[in-house]
Amino acid sequence: MRISSTLLLLVAGCGRLGFDGIEPGDNMMNGVDPMSALAPAQCEATGSLGTPSSPDVDLAVATTPTGASLFWVAIAGGSLRGVDLGTDRIATPITTIVTGSFTESSAAYLDGHLLATGLTGSRSLVQDVPQPIAAGVEIGNFGGDHVAKSNLVHAGPDRVLATSCSDVQYHSFDASWAGMESTYSYSSPQTDHVDITQVGARALTVISTGTQCDYFVATNRSTSTTRSSQISCEGARMASDGVDQIAMLVETSGGDVALVIDATDTVSAANALPIAVGSAPRVLRFDNRYWVTYVDPTGHIVIGFLDDTGMLLTRTLTDATTTPRGYELAMFDGSPWVFAVDPGTSALYGRRLCAQ
C-alpha cells in the first residue's frame, strides 16, 4: 500500500468516539494529507553543532533544563561521545563519555540526572553524565542485545530502563542511583527492537520479534502485564498523552511507516495504518498534538503532526537529509526539533519545527 503522494481518508467505524475519546482496540488516526499547506514547517536551522568521525552513527538526545545533550556512537563500533547544546544554540566541544566499541546509544534526563547508555555486544553500560558534559560515571552494566532509545522512565515509584534479547528486561536504580539488573524479566523469541514510554504512573514497553509484537505494561520495576499481537513492531517508537493514550509508529514489512493511536492496554501494531513509504519513525507529544517524523526513500526527513480531527499533515524538509539511525525528534528550548547527522558532510545539525 503506497500513500506517500495521495490522500488517504479513513471512515470511522460504528461507535467511534472521535479523536479526543478512546475506543479501545481501534485506531484514532483518520488519515494522512501529504505535503499539506497546513503541515508544520521548519522555522529555524542551526549550523554544524559538531562533526562526528563517521556519518553513519546511532544518535540519542536528552532534553535537559539547560537545553539538550546529544550523544552518538558509530554504528560500526566506537566510543560514546556527545555535546551539550545550550538555548543560545552554542554546542560544547565534542566530549568522550566512555571509550569502547559501542553500536547503539540511548539517553534520558530524569530526576536531576543525565544518563547516556552505550550498547557493546550484549551489555548496556549506563553512564551518569555530569553537567556541563564530561566523562560519565558507570552506574549500570545490564544485559541485552538492544536498549530502548528512551533511556529511563518512571514505572510507579521506580526508575526503569528496558533492554531486550531473547527476553525483555527491566533494570532499575535505587535511591542512591545504584543500578539493579533484571528486576523484571520475561522470556520471548529473539528480539530485534525494544522501546519504552511512560504513561501516567505506568510504563509501556514493546518488543519486536520479527513475527510478533509483545506489549508490557509495568506498574513498578518488577510487575508487568503482558499481551501479544501477531504483527511485528519493528522500529517502533511511542509517545503518550500522559494519561492513557499512546501514539505508536512502526516500520512494516512492505517498507512503509505505519501509525496507530489507542489506549495503553489495547494499542497494537496490528491496527497501525500505513502513512508513507519510509523508515526510522519518531514521535513525541507537544502542545496537545502528536508530532511525527520519518526518513523518506531519498534520505530526506519528513515532518508532520495530527490535527484535531486525527488527520496527519506532513511535509518534506528539502534541506535535511540523514540516515535512519542518525537522527532524533526531541524537545529543545520549548519546541520540537529534529537533530541529525548529514550523511555527506558528517555535520550534526538541528531544525526547529513550528505549527503554521
Cell of 44: 529555524
Model confidence pLDDT, tens digit, residues 120-148: 999 999 999 999 999 999 999 999 999 99
What mean pLDDT comes out for the span 62-69? 98
The chain-wide mean pLDDT, for the chain, equals 93
| DSSP secondary structure letters along 67-130 | EEEEEEEETT-EEEEEEEEETTSPBPPPEEEEEEEE-EEEEEEETTEEEEEEEETTEEEEEEE-
How remote is the C-alpha of 133 from its chain's centroid? 22
The per-residue pLDDT for 320 is: 98
Give the residue with greater pLDDT, 15 vs 321.
321
* Closest by CA position to 249, among listed 264, 265, 233, 232: 233
Cell of 253: 514489512
The 8-class DSSP code of residue 264 comes to: T
Percent of the chain whose pLDDT exceeds 90: 90
Q: Does domain 8-354 have CATH number 1.10.3720.10?
A: no
The per-residue pLDDT for 151 is: 86
What mean pLDDT comes out for the span 35-53? 96
Q: Which helix (H) or strand (E) holds 283?
A: strand 279-286
Question: Quick check: 179 pLDDT over 90?
Answer: yes
Tell me the C-alpha distance between 123 and 198, whole Å. 23
Tell me the C-alpha distance between 127 and 99, whole Å. 11
Q: How confident is the model at residue 4 (pLDDT cuts 50, 70, 90)?
A: very low
Model confidence pLDDT, tens digit, residues 264-321: 999 999 999 999 999 999 999 999 999 999 999 999 999 999 999 999 999 999 999 9
153, 198 Cβ separation under 8 angstroms: yes
The per-residue pLDDT for 356 is: 83
| DSSP secondary structure letters along 52-83 | -S-SSEEEEEEEETTEEEEEEEETT-EEEEEE
Q: Which residues, including other chains, have CB under 8 Å from residue 320's CB and lie 6 or more apart?
A: 42, 300, 301, 338, 340, 349, 351
Q: Which residue(s) pair with 160 in the sheet?
A: 153, 172
Residue 132 preceded by cis peptide, ω within 30: yes
Q: How far is CA 16 from CA 22, 161, 204, in A?
A: 8, 35, 24
Q: How confident is the model at residue 210 (pLDDT cuts 50, 70, 90)?
A: confident
The per-residue pLDDT for 270 is: 94
* Closest by CA position to 305, among listed 318, 321, 294: 294
The per-residue pLDDT for 24 is: 66
The per-residue pLDDT for 25 is: 81
Domain boundaries, the chain: 8-354
Model confidence pLDDT, tens digit, residues 306-329: 999 999 999 999 999 999 999 999
Place of cell 496507530: 260
Percent of the chain whose pLDDT exceeds 70: 93
Cell of 59: 544518535
133, 91 Cβ separation under 8 angstroms: no
